[in-house]
Amino acid sequence: MAQLPNTKSMGGVARQGMRRLPLNATILAPLVALILLFVVSSIASEYFLNTRNISNVLRQVSYTGIIAIGMTFVIIAGGIDLSVGSMVALVGVIILYIINTISDPIQAVLLGMLAAIAAGGLLGLFNGLLVTRGRIAAFVVTLASMSIFRSLALYFTDAAEVSTRNPLFSNVGGGFFLGIPIPVLVFFGLAILAHILLFHTPYGRHVCAVGANAQVARYSGIRVERIVLSTFVIAGICVGLSAIMLTSRLNSVSPSDAGYFYELDAIAAVVIGGTALSGGRGTVWGTVIGALILGIINNMLNLTGVSPYLQGLVKGGVILLAVLLQYKRA
Amino acid sequence: MTLSRLFKTAALATALASASSVALADDYHIGVTVPSADHGWTAGLLWWAQNAANELSEKYPDVSFTVLSANSGTAQVSNVEDLMIRNLDALVILPHNPATLQAVITEAYDEGIYTVVVDRELETPAQDVFIAGDNPGLGEQAARYIADELGGEGNILVLEGPPIPINSQRVDAFNRVMENYPGINILASQTTDWNPQQALSVTEDLLGSNPEVDAIWAGDDDVLVAALQAINENNRDDIQLIVGGGGSQRVIEMIREDHPMVKGTVTYPPNMIASAMALAVHGVKGEHLGDMYHGVPSRIILAADLITADNVEEFYEPEAAY
């Protein structure tokens, strides 16, 4: 009789340990899905495991992946940000405007990148203030700002694509360090930072608490408004980073096209990664895996040459499958 | 279609596609990427690309095609990157937006891939062949036809496309021709964004404010169909002639069946992608076209053909998506 409660508490400790390591079912399920997809893809196409292909996939994933990391914070805190795609276009236009105005190439690139982070942060602040001070639902605020940001990007450029002749800029997103594309390094570096922020700081615990139950969090002395506001600023800064990587890789920006549907890819990555859309719990690693799953699906469909009409069906099916797998285990 | 049949089709398509990519490793592999089918013309583009892939790979067994579509310029960049992984010999691309695609097309071209750019020109050329339709020609042909049919006298409405260079080339050419006909009066020239819903409401408004209209020029055939609906709903019998642009099968059928108002359209053919693919086949093999003394030309502009009851059979392709 005395042993029973003992084993129970042992299990409890073990389970708690798992939760701290974030290696519970919600993260294992997407990981299993990723491995499965990886194996299927290697069999389906002889080109899949090609080093250059892997490097391409990682780079293709990193633009939406960086945004999805920011989105993870917003969603865990109980919000949503639909404006990130349009924000990429607007920030991209701002970067290229600055780079094309300043004549010294090094100064131009540095200031352009700084401005991108600042602009992303400010646009995120705009969203966050409307949600917290304006007391409007995040869905509505960012639905409106999605339209506003895209419209401003179109207005500043007369809907025309902007490109640059700056000789250095394309080395940022198009460059490699130790054989790895720079956007990929930024993506993984950011993921590690975000993971630490979310799981090993009081701030991260507050984000989860606010998303789980804002009222209780408020009674526990957490400044709920400030936390919610900060998640939108984080999302904006991530958009700024993504815009730097994307516009420099392409050496141009198209205001009507840049970041098109990125919000949906980012949300899909977060959800596949096991973060609850209702907020309160989630992991950064899950989001990274979710983004990788989406990227590998796209890549595999292109490599195997599946009919363009059917690609959407396969993509949607795999997303549903990944999420179903997760709920069965959880 | 039941769900299980749908899955079977998907599985079959995957199996077939992977089988074809394994079977032809040492021959010519041509990658094709176009904007996804978001309106009539691009739907036609994709249909013709797939049609040409079937026909050309049947005719030339040493050639295989992969046809992809992308819903944005950045997605198309990924398309090109993914195609290049598969030992591409030639790339045929209708760029979503040229500046976004410039970097990656240049990469492909610099790697020695035979590159054919279709319809939208790159700022810095990076291709073996550029092939496009004749935008000013489309405007000129439409203007001459309307002026002739009206006997040089009448009131006309112009339904323009979105404010992009292609549209201004068409409309400017149209207006230049019309300057020679002082009896023709252009009542209004309004944008429809080549979008049928918008075309419907714009035409309704224009018909409401202009009681006497003799002819309408729609820069796009989908816009023409929408304008026709507005005319019928408003019971207008003053309009004698509507001329389109593009050459959709729907409008071609109307011309074929002697429609009282729809008597002509000017081609801006989506099957230019099919010709581009044929050029890639011959270009990548280093062959000449027909009896030409030179290799594949570096720049080809397809004629803007006026389609009327006289020649409509030549352009009739009931299976095509546009």
Using a CB-CB cut-off of 8 Å, the residues of chain A touching B102 are 163, 250-252
**A299:B100 CB<8 A:** no
In this predicted structure, which of A71-85, A307-321, B302-316 has the lowest mean pLDDT? A307-321
**A53:B82 CB<8 A:** yes
pLDDT at residue A26, as a whole number: 64
Question: Where in chain B do CATH 3.40.50.2300 domains reside?
Answer: 16-133+270-287, 135-266
- Which segments in chain B show pLDDT lower than 70? 1-26
Tell me which architecture the domain covering B135-266 has in CATH.
3-Layer(aba) Sandwich (3.40)
Distances (CA, A) of A328 to A33, A75, B63: 13, 22, 46
pLDDT at residue A256, as a whole number: 86
Q: State the average pLDDT over residues A128-153.
A: 96
Residue A15 has pLDDT above 60, yes or no: no
* Alpha carbon of A43: minimum distance to chain B alpha carbons (Å): 10
pLDDT at residue A327, as a whole number: 66
Q: How far is CA A91 from the centre of its chain?
A: 16
| Residue indicated by tokens 């820069």 | B219
**B17:A308 CB<8 A:** no
For a pLDDT cut of 90, what percent of chain A falls above it? 71
CB B160 within 8 A of CB B192: yes
**A308:B86 CB<8 A:** no
Tell me: the pLDDT tens digits for A264-278? Answer: 999 999 999 989 888
CA–CA distance, B224 with B263 (Å, rounded to integer) = 11
What DSSP letter does each residue of A9-56 carry, written as one string?
Answer: HHHHHHHHHHHHTT-SHHHHHHHHHHHHHHHHHHHH-TTTT-HHHHHH
Using a CB-CB cut-off of 8 Å, the residues of chain B touching A266 are none
CA–CA distance, A242 with A249 (Å, rounded to integer) = 11
pLDDT at residue B17, as a whole number: 46
Inform me whether the C-beta atom of residue B163 falls under 8 Å from chain A C-beta atoms: yes
Q: In whole angstroms, how large is the CA radius of gyration of chain B? A: 21
Residue A14 has pLDDT above 90, yes or no: no
pLDDT tier at A27, thresholds 50, 70, 90: low
CB B89 within 8 A of CB B113: yes
Distances (CA, A) of B130 to B81, B126, B135, B300, B304: 20, 9, 15, 6, 17
| Residue indicated by tokens 């993984």 | A188
Tell me: the pLDDT tens digits for A299-311? Answer: 998 888 888 888 8
Inform me whether the C-beta atom of residue B72 falls under 8 Å from chain A C-beta atoms: yes
Inform me whether the C-beta atom of residue B11 falls under 8 Å from chain A C-beta atoms: no
* Alpha carbon of B267: minimum distance to chain A alpha carbons (Å): 26
CA–CA distance, B296 with B275 (Å, rounded to integer) = 12
Tokens of B83: 């195609």
pLDDT at residue A24, as a whole number: 60
pLDDT at residue A107, as a whole number: 95
CA–CA distance, B120 with B112 (Å, rounded to integer) = 21
| DSSP code, position B160 | E
pLDDT at residue A149, as a whole number: 97
Residues of A with CB under 8 A from a CB of B: 44-47, 50, 52-53, 56, 60, 63, 158-159, 161-163, 170, 174, 246, 249-254, 256-261, 298-299, 302-308, 310, 313-314, 317
Using a CB-CB cut-off of 8 Å, the residues of chain B touching A252 are 99-100, 102-103
**B103:A246 CB<8 A:** no
pLDDT at residue A23, as a whole number: 54
b (16+ CB within 10 A) / e for A31-50: bbbbeebbeebeebbebbee
CA–CA distance, A92 with A288 (Å, rounded to integer) = 23
In this predicted structure, which of A160-164, A193-197, B147-151, B307-311 has the lowest mean pLDDT? A160-164
What DSSP letter does each residue of A291-323 carry, written as one string?
Answer: HHHHHHHHHHHHHHT--TTTHHHHHHHHHHHHH
pTM value is 0.80
CA–CA distance, A42 with A20 (Å, rounded to integer) = 33
- List, in order, residues 6 or more apart from B301 with CB less than 8 Å away: B131, B132, B133, B134
Size of interface A-B (CB pairs under 8 A): 117
Residue A9 has pLDDT above 50, yes or no: no
pLDDT at residue A25, as a whole number: 62
Q: In chain A, what is the straight-line distance between the N-terminal and C-terminal CA atoms, in Å? A: 30
CA–CA distance, B179 with B143 (Å, rounded to integer) = 10
Q: What share of chain B is helix, strand, coil (3-state, %, to 5)?
A: 45, 20, 35
| DSSP code, position A68 | H
Tell me: the pLDDT tens digits for A30-46? Answer: 888 899 899 999 999 88
Q: State the average pLDDT over residues A71-91.
A: 97
- List, in order, residues 6 or more apart from A172 with CB less than 8 Å away: A109, A113, A182, A244, A245, A248
**B82:A303 CB<8 A:** yes
pLDDT at residue B194, as a whole number: 85
For chain B, give the longest Cα–Cα distance. Answer: 66
Tell me: the pLDDT tens digits for A237-272? Answer: 999 999 999 999 999 999 988 998 999 999 999 999
pLDDT at residue B301, as a whole number: 95
CATH class in words for B16-133+270-287: alpha beta
**A314:B36 CB<8 A:** no
Q: Which of A174, A251, A308 sits opposite B69 (nearest CB)?
A: A308
Tell me: the pLDDT tens digits for A53-67? Answer: 999 999 999 999 999
**B74:A162 CB<8 A:** no
- List, in order, residues 6 or more apart from A9 with CB less than 8 Å away: none
- The single-letter code of the amino acid at B280 is A
pLDDT at residue B177, as a whole number: 96
Per CATH, the number for A33-329 is 1.10.3470
Query: Angle formed by the axes of helices A202-212 and A224-250, to 10°?
Result: 110
Distances (CA, A) of B190 to B92, B196, B204: 34, 14, 12
